[in-house]
Structure 1
Amino acid sequence: MKSTTESLSPTRVKLTIEVPFEEFQPSLDKAYKTIGAQITIPGFRKGKVPAAIVDQRIGRSAVLDEAINGALPGWYSEALQQAEIQPLSQPEIDLTKFSDGEDIEITAELDVRPTIELPDLAAIEVQVADAEVTDADVDEQIDALRDRFAVTLDVDRAAADGDAVTIDLVARDKDGADIEGADAKGLPYTIGSGTLLDGLDEALIGLDKGATTTFSTELVGGELKGTPVDVTVTLNDVKERQVADLDEEFVQTASEFDTVEELKADVRERLVRGKRMEQAAEARDLVLEEVVGTVEAPLPETVVAEELQGRREQIMQQLSYAGISFDTYLEDEGQTAEEFEAELERRVRDSIVAQFVLDQVVADSEIGIENDELTQHIIMQQATVKDASGTVLELGKLRADGSIADDEVETTDESADAEPEVSEESDKA
């Protein structure tokens, strides 16, 4: 078998595959066995029917069709390997020459990745947000930790801000009719969290256990989002949440540290690492955006259409799960259907170009990187990334945990990790 490649466009090629008939013979023999095992001929066991009898009963053309259909995928795959082509779409295959006893010719047209001329990544400079961590940031994290270790105690008083309560809810329209699906029983809620309905916190504060009250609000989700309703809430249970004091006893209970200062230092370091990871993600996106905006990348329209359809179906499925109609979604986004489609297509095209850019980085790289994250890491190593103060960030040395690798320290660490030698004198000591 031999194949030739013809470029039809920067994103589409035509493979011509030529197969001598003698190379087709094994596929033909297999087809006879397959068909022979499926038919019943008096005087012959299944699978043992001679080829001549199969031709008489089924027809030679049926056997040829069976054989060619079985052989085509292997020939196509081998041709791709010979041409070193990575297809982006299913091929359009045409059997151009196929006569019994003669050489076979097949053509296959398919979409391929274009070759992209990348800009000088070292000339790209982007700016990301600072990785500053304030005392307030640290306090917020520690307060959240204290909140997770809070205990609840029964109280004999009216509900107050911060209490953990259990409630029943029933929503009715302005005509007094219950709204289907807009009710709940035994619902846990923390007063002041603001995670449910507007007006709920105000309705609960000052309410006694077992009491019921009604307030007006609007529904916040589903098909009836924004619908004015009257909500009747019953307070079933009230518990006061007590948050532990920030002292050494709490620190030793809630963490691996002994003192408040040690805990705060660890929280600050973790926040700094998280900020660095955010910087890296922002830098990656900005560098890719810069490259995507400058490269000339022809796109195969069949790939764009398939990706566009897939994205569209994904969005519709998510809206369906959320109980939101497409019209409601458009209203919330302030878009027309035409604007939605235009924006979706723009995002799809940009994402395909971005993937082509990453693929080209792989192709141009002297190290065989395959992972997108590694590719993006290579991009950040070459580009210049600064924070808002103008400081150049060494994000190319960023570890997976958000720490920055230090070449000298890493060399020292590797030496320290080596197995220490113990002399005989030491053993005898």
Structure 2
Amino acid sequence: MKSAVETLNPTRVRLTVEVPFEELKASLDAAYKKINQQVTVKGFRKGKIPARVIDQRFGRGAVLEEAVNDALPKLYTEAVNEADVNPLGQPEVDITELKDGELLAFTAEVDIRPAIEIPDYSGIEVTVDAVEVTDEDVEKSVEQLRERFASTSPVERAAAEGDVVTIDLEAKVDGEVLPDGVATGVQYTIGSGELLEGIDDAVTGLEAGGEATFTSTLKGGSAEGKEAEVTVKVTQVAARELPELDDEFAQMASEFDTLDELKADSRKRLENMKQYDQATQAQERVLDELLKLVEVPIPEKLLEDEVNTRKHNLEHHQLGQMGLTLEKYLELQGKTVEEFDAETQEQAVKGIKTQFILDELVSKEKLNVNQDELTEHLMRRAASSGMSPDQFAQAVVEGNQVPMLVGEVARGKALALVVEAAKVVDTDGEPVVLDDDEDETAETAEASAEAGDDAEAKADEKSEEKSEA
């Protein structure tokens, strides 16, 4: 076999391949065997039809087509290895010449990983928010805990903001009560915004036994998105009572004996949260600066696939779970379709660039992932997915996703190198020392590079499907 590679642009090549006909013998034999199992010819046992009879009855062309389809994946892979290119996804193959008994020639155009030069990144400087916990932050945190331990008691007065009312609801559209438009005994905290728009104004001022009617857009159900006439009847008004902020409350709501100890613990927790946020912010900003330093050509087909994948996931998964259409989502966001498309493309480009750059760093720095690092990452991913480690590990193995997890950890280690080399200061001008948590950094790298993973995985799946076909 002879092959040559032609660079069409920084992200696409054309392979030209010529194969002597004798190299197709195994595929020709396989083609005759396959056809033998599929057809019946009078006078011959199934599977024992001579090749000359198959040629006469079904045509030599059918045999050649079957043989070429069988041989192409292997021939293409050999040409790719010989050319030393990193293909992305499914090639576009064109048979340019097929001479029976002489020669097979074909071309294959395919997207490739672009060659990337990583410049010196040791000069990266970023500024992050300072870690500052105020007395007001602590008081707010304790107040939220206090809210969780609030109790309610019925009152004989008009409902006001903050009260918990028990209500019955009936929704009508075009004068007809909806099949799923009746609910009784619903508890609602006035001012929480957890039910229909307009309900706060409707129930405020009502006593038990009072009712009101208002118009609202339904958020779900059979008439989702339609205007409905909603009748609400208050059956009970209850006032929320907060516990006193004292040592007794601290003992009830925590493991501490005094309110001062509870507040000190709240301050420490808030500091830890802000330090975590600061570290994440540093990683994201260092990554943004790294992306500015490196020129990365983006394969057009890979980008197109990723944009489509992002749109599909948003519209059919995330918004679907929220009961929103894309049109309603854009309306709530105050965005046009053109603005949404531009943002989606920008995010996809960033994701693909991130993966390419960090993967190049992994290769350049010869970073490896050991079993302990992979196991720790798997445990964290399992926890975030709500699955047990064993369940998550089984799903990863069955889905052939182990290489993907290894890639996530390796990219996290690559980003950690860059962050370690960068100068990070806070808004007060103080140097920031970050914990060397490579798995945490992997989460930042993973979130940014997720687009590239999804697009490449999808492209590779298509390539595998074609090879199997």
Question: Do the structures match in fold with TM over 0.5?
Answer: yes
Q: 2:8 aligns to what SS in structure 1?
A: strand
User: What does residue range 414-429 of structure 1 map to in structure 2 within 5 Å?
Assistant: none
**Contact (CA 8 Å) 1:381, 1:396: kept in 2 or not?**
no
Summarize deviations over 1:308-358 as a string: whole Å, max 9, x none: 333344454466765656665555544444444444434433433333322
Give the partner amino acid of 1:289: D
Q: Deviations over 1:264-296 (max 9, x none)?
A: 344333322322232233223322322333432
TM-score w.r.t. the length of structure 1 is 0.77
The alignment partner of 2:87 has SS state of coil
Deviation at 1:364, TM superposition (A): 2.2
Any conservation in 2 of the 1:170–1:182 contact (CA below 8 Å)? no
Q: Aligned partners of 1:139, 1:400: CA distance in 2, in Å?
A: 33
Whether 1:72 and 2:76 are equivalent positions in the alignment is no
Question: C-alpha deviations, 1:3-52, integer Å up to 9, x for none?
Answer: 44332221111223444444422222222111111112234332233323
Matches within 5 A, 1:7-406: 7-170=7-170, 177=175, 183=181, 185-186=183-184, 187-197=186-196, 200-214=199-213, 219=217, 231-247=230-246, 250-317=249-316, 330-368=330-368, 370-371=407-408, 372-395=411-434, 397-398=436-437
Distance 1:6 1:384 in 2: 42
Deviation at 1:156, TM superposition (A): 4.9
Deviation of 1:130 (Å): 1.7
Q: CA deviation at 1:399?
A: 6.8
Q: How many Å apart are 1:129 and its aligned residue?
A: 1.3
Q: Go from structure 1 to structure 2 and tell me whether the alpha carbon gap of 1:244 and 1:331 turns closer, same or farther (over 3 Å shift).
A: closer
Deviations 1:122-165 (A, max 9, x none): 11111111222223323333333333344444455543443332
Aligned to 1:397, the other structure's residue is in SS state coil
Q: How many percent of aligned residue pairs carry the same amino acid?
A: 45
Superposition deviation, residue 69 in structure 1? 0.8
More deviation, 119-128/262-271: 262-271
Q: Distance in 1 between matches of 2:76 and 2:230?
A: 66
Specify whether residues 204 and 246 from structure 1 end up closer, same or farther in structure 2 by C-alpha distance, changes over 3 A only: same
SS in structure 1 opposite 2:88?
coil
1:295 maps to a residue whose letter is V
Please give the alpha-carbon distance, in whole angstroms, between the structure 1 residues aligned to 2:439 and 2:264.
20
Corresponding letter in the other structure for 2:423: T
Q: Is the 8 A contact 1:119 1:291 kept in 2?
A: no
Tell me how far 1:209 sits from its aligned partner: 1.8
Question: 2:63 is matched by which residue type in structure 1?
Answer: V
User: What is the RMSD of the two structures over their aligned residues, measured on CA atoms?
Assistant: 3.6
Contact 2:216-2:230 within 8 A present in 1 as well: no
Q: Which moved more, 1:24-33 or 1:145-154?
A: 145-154
With normalisation by structure 2, the TM-score equals 0.72
In structure 1, how many angstroms separate the alpha carbons of the residues matched to 2:428 and 2:189? 41
* Paired AA for residue 359 in structure 2: D
> How far off its partner does 1:99 sit?
2.4
Deviates more, 1:375-384 or 1:16-25: 16-25
Alignment check: 8 A CA contact 2:367 2:414 kept? no
Q: Flag structure 1 segments of 5+ consecutive residues without an equivalent.
A: 403-429
Unaligned runs of 5+ in 2: 370-406, 442-469
Letter in 2 for 1:380: V
Q: Secondary structure at the match of 2:292?
A: helix
In the alignment, the residues of structure 2 paired with residue 168 and residue 57 of structure 1 have an alpha-carbon distance, to the nearest angstrom, of: 78
Distance change (3 Å), C-alpha of 1:255 and 1:30: farther
What's the CA shift for 1:84? 4.3
CA distance in 2, matches of 1:47, 1:255: 78
* Equivalence for 1:416: none
Q: Shift of residue 231 of structure 1?
A: 4.9
Q: Which moved more, 1:250-259 or 1:40-49?
A: 250-259
Structure with the greater alpha carbon radius of gyration? 1
Deviations 1:248-273 (A, max 9, x none): 55545544445444443443333223
* Distance of 1:401 and 1:327 partners within structure 2: 35
Q: 1:53 to 1:251 in 2, by over 3 A?
A: farther
Distance in 1 (CA, whole Å) between partners of 2:105 and 2:136 is 73
User: 1: CA distance between counterparts of 2:439 and 2:362?
Assistant: 21
Q: 1:363 to 1:205 in 2, by over 3 A?
A: same
CA distance in 1, matches of 2:415, 2:301: 27
Distance 1:196 1:181, change over 3 A: farther
What is the aligned partner in structure 2 of residue 412 from structure 1?
none
Maintained 8 Å contact 2:412/2:438: no
- Cα distance, 1:90 vs. partner? 1.8
- SS of the aligned residue for 1:355 comes to helix
Amino acid at match of 1:145: L
Distance 1:182 1:290 in 2: 53
Q: 1:190-223, CA deviations, whole angstroms, 9 ceiling, x for partnerless residues? A: 12323345553354344222221345x7648689
Q: How many residues align?
A: 398
Query: Higher mean Cα deviation, 5-14 or 373-382?
Result: 373-382
Distance 1:232 1:34, change over 3 A: same
